[in-house]
Structure 1
Amino acid sequence: MEETDIDGRNEEAFFLFRTPCTRTAFLTGIGGGFTLGLAHFMFSSRVKRSTDLAVYSFAAITLGTWMYCRYDRAKKRLAQKRVKDAVRQEIRLEKVHQTMSSSPETTDAKLDST
């Protein structure tokens, strides 16, 4: 049985657009394919070749945009992970430093040296 959302639409039909970068890639590909196909038609007046160019450029632009967006997203996620790990390490070092400075052994050592 198919799952439907509140509006009664098929939920599985829209799974593709929930993945990151897909919507942007499709919109860029549609715009680029249409523009290149129309420009080629205006200059050459060849319908079939212009349509072929529009479809091929749509596919290439969509795929290229999607790949670049995913690469950039992965790069940002890796940078965020590095910052998060560095902050965690800094917190650990600060806790160690606080426990070292407040321990009774260090206090006794300070008193003995004076």
Structure 2
Amino acid sequence: MKLNKHIAALCIGTFCLGVAELGIVPVLTDVAHSLHVSIPQAGLYISAYAAGVCAGIIGLLVFARSVNLKYTLLAAAVLILVGNASAALAQNDYMMLAARFISGSPHG
């Protein structure tokens, strides 16, 4: 059976988005302690990602309709990279919320 490279890229991308979305759940208490916030307050990081998904789909529908699909996918990949790197390097609560929002925006 031959593996289609387009299907493989789609599978890898879906896996990466799933890890970015739900990967914070098992380490939420550690993230809360390292950023000196309560665990319920750190739960907002998950909500920030979801809000980014909602805002991202609206932005995609409005702005990306007339743009070449290749450039749209490249921009989404860059946003995912920037958002996840920013979340990994976040120094405080607000930086983490912004980073999670940014990394959720291309998910839509």
TM-score by length of 2: 0.33
> Taking CA–CA contacts closer than 8 Å with sequence separation of 6 or more, which of the two structures ends up with the larger relative contact order?
2
